């Protein structure tokens, strides 16, 4: 299979998810992916469909809500037709804080809705607490490796 592309999306308010998305970008480049990294307010649903492979890093804000830059894209996914994500491989890294009742809720919503719309979950979601660096890095490395298996 040619066309070794991955779209890395971040939903963030204070930049933690963006930094992890940049780490993921470096890992994917090491495996010769053509990588696009975008904030969730920089793309449309059709960009996700076209990408075919989507890695999501998303924090949770408010009381279990999507971060500001994720709201429109998430609503557009929710409102899309059944099967809109058919053929799209995805994996979700959720950032949050166990001090909140709805721990990592926004990432959980992405993970569930992408599956409900026909996407293909390539790795189990990881829900990260405030001390997330090591386990997030480990998960990103594993997950980029799983995406890469399509071309091995």
Minimum gap (Å) between residue 16 Cβ and ligand FMN:
3
Question: Quick one: 40 or 51, whose CB is closer to ligand FMN?
Answer: 40
Minimum gap (Å) between residue 66 Cβ and ligand FMN:
10
Where do the H-state alpha helices sit in the chain? 16-30, 45-51, 71-78, 105-116, 133-148
Minimum gap (Å) between residue 23 Cβ and ligand FMN:
13
Question: Quick one: 105 or 111, whose CB is closer to ligand FMN?
Answer: 105
Q: How large is the angle between the packed helices 105-116 and 71-78, nearest 10 degrees?
A: 30
- Which residue number has the CB closest to ligand FMN? 96
Question: Quick one: 82 or 131, whose CB is closer to ligand FMN?
Answer: 131
Minimum gap (Å) between residue 80 Cβ and ligand FMN:
24
Chain CA centroid to CA 8, Å: 6
Closest listed residue to residue 20, CA positions, set 39, 3, 4: 39
* Binding region for ligand FMN (CB under 6 A): 12-17, 59-64, 67, 95-97, 100, 102-105
What is the C-alpha R_g of the chain? 14
Minimum gap (Å) between residue 151 Cβ and ligand FMN:
30
Is 134 within 8 Å of 98 (Cβ atoms)? no
Residues 6+ apart with CB under 8 A from 67: 11, 12, 13, 17, 58, 59, 60, 61, 106
Question: Quick one: 9 or 35, whose CB is closer to ligand FMN?
Answer: 9
Question: Quick one: 25 or 117, whose CB is closer to ligand FMN?
Answer: 25
């Amino acid at each position: 299979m040619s066309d070794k592309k991955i779209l890395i999306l971040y939903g963030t308010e204070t930049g933690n998810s963006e930094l992890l998305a940049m780490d993921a970008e470096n890992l994917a480049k090491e495996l010769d992916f053509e990588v696009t990294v975008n904030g969730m307010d920089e793309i449309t649903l059709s960009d996700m469909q076209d990408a075919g492979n989507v890695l999501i890093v998303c924090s949770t804000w408010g009381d279990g809500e999507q971060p500001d830059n994720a709201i429109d894209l998430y609503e557009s996914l929710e409102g899309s037709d059944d099967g809109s994500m058919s053929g799209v491989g995805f994996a979700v890294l959720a950032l949050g804080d166990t001090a909140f009742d709805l721990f990592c809720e926004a990432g959980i919503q992405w993970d569930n809705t992408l599956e409900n719309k026909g996407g293909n979950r390539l790795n189990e979601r990881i829900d990260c607490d405030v001390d997330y660096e090591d386990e997030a890095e480990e998960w990103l490395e594993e997950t980029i490796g799983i995406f890469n298996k399509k071309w091995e």
